[in-house]
Amino acid sequence: MHLGLIGCGNIVKTLLGFLDAPDAPDVTRITLLVRAGQCDRAQDEIAAMTPKAEIVEETADLIAARPDLIVEAAGHAGVAEHVGPCLEAGFDVVVVSVGALSDTDLAARLETAARAGGARIILPAGAVGGIDIVSALSASGEVTLTYRGTKPPKAWAGSPAAEALDLDTLESAAVFFTGTAREAAAQFPKNANVAATLALAGPGLDKTRVELVADPAAPGNVHSYEVVSPAAKVRVEIENLPSNGNAKTSVATIYSVLREIRNHIGPMVI
């Protein structure tokens, strides 16, 4: 398999490590798109991790390489800049930065591009489980979904939470945001992809209620939600370890991307 990657941050680097495991999907070639001016630095860094990767700086060069699947892990700006042209050129794209779709205009442009190219926007489950039943229950009638995201204070550093709370001296759990999934995704682009994913699978970005919490006692990144529908009531709580080097991202997110790659090439999809 020839894999295209957009981004060169923690998610991509961790994924490259996972792809070297003996039981990993058979990826024989990688084309990695990085920001302009970063090619030389990325080349040295990535070459130390895998000999399979070619580094490019232009979306057109990624498209010209003709990968079998593209994975985006470059944040909201990366989605806006690169994903549309890839879809329009006919390439399926796994969008890790799901919160970018809280931008109504961007979401519409990407859907138009996907239709034009006969491609798919693939949203991975990321750090949360149960997306399948949330999506299934959305067809049963009116659905309500409430989500609570709890992370250690350091995971909220650099976000608006740092303006609402003194994260360095926090001694107990503190709620610093309540609102819709759309609002959460827009205000916390590096922390609220789970809220956006649940909302898009369920009642929508404007009907999903979100509560974000900083808790010094949190054992990791904890995601809990409740879905109520005519067909079933579901309660889920997941405690994730953060990925190495980025407290904001759960390591389960990267395993979720690995699953999407495996499903793309495997004879059986679960």
How open is the CA angle 3-200-191, to the nearest 5 degrees? 70
Co-location of 201 and 239 in the same domain: yes
Query: Does 39 have pLDDT greater than 80?
Result: no
Q: What is the DSSP letter of 122?
A: E
One domain for residues 53 and 110: yes
41-58 pLDDT, tens digit per residue, is 778 888 888 889 999 999
Same domain, 152 and 236: yes
Q: How confident is the model at residue 201 (pLDDT cuts 50, 70, 90)?
A: very high
Same domain, 136 and 164: yes
225 lies in a domain? yes
CA–CA separation, 73 and 160 (whole Å):
22
CA atoms within 13 A on the CB side of 141: 6
Residue 154 located in a structural domain = yes
Residues with active-site annotation = 223
The whole-model pTM stands at 0.94
The whole-angstrom separation of Cα 47 and Cα 51 is 6
How would residue 7 be classed by pLDDT, with cut points 50, 70 and 90?
A: very high
In this prediction, residues 60-69 reach a mean pLDDT of 98
Q: Is residue 211 part of a domain?
A: yes
pLDDT band at 246 (very low <50, low <70, confident <90, very high): confident
The answer as to whether 270 is a domain residue is: no
Each residue's pLDDT tens digit, 85-142? 999 999 999 999 999 999 999 999 999 999 999 999 999 999 999 999 999 999 999 9
Percent of the chain with pLDDT over 70: 100
Number of compact structural domains in the chain: 2
Residues 109 and 30 in one domain: yes
In a domain, 102, yes or no: yes
Residues 118 and 150 in one domain: no
**Are both 241 and 176 inside the same structural domain?**
yes
Domain that holds residue 9: 2-122
- Specify whether 98 is located in the same domain as 62: yes
Tell whether 189 and 242 lie within a shared domain. yes
